[in-house]
Amino acid sequence: MSYFLITIIAILVVILFQKFMQQFNSRGKYENIDAGTFIGLSKEPNTVILDVRQPGEIAEGKIKGAKAINVLAGNFMEEVDKLPKDKTYLVYCRSGNRSGMACGKMAGLGFAKLYNLQGGYGAWLRAK
């Protein structure tokens, strides 16, 4: 094999290993759930719905009772660190990507009961 081919294979192995470790490290920190499960859990006691979208998105509509903390704002970590860690958090954004990121950050702060809405606000609208 040529040096070039060996280098390419080594790079691919490293990339795949990093992807595996990302998935392994994020397991158990939060759970991705569908809109039906999200709606059911939202009726449980000690549950907080957290909208992590930007203010312009929230102005177009939000889930009733949701607390808004923009995950892209510079003070996101400070704001969520003020929240009680013993509650269940249902986190959503527009599509489920930013809310997954928010759940990961919250898990790092010690939050244990975190649920990310797959499909985001749009999925919730279709399910309600």
Name the DSSP class of 66.
Answer: P
Range 89-111 burial, b when 16+ CB lie within 10 A, else e: bbbbbbbbebbbbbbbbbeeeeb
Per-residue CA distances from 103 to 24, 68, 115 (Å): 15, 14, 7
Residue written as token pair 């510079």: 74
Instruction: Establish whether 103 is a catalytic residue.
Output: no
Q: Which of 93, 102, 106, 114 is catalytic?
A: 93
Q: Tell me which residue of 108, 72, 102 sits closest to 89, measured CA to CA.
A: 102
Where in the sequence numbering do the catalytic residues fall?
A: 93
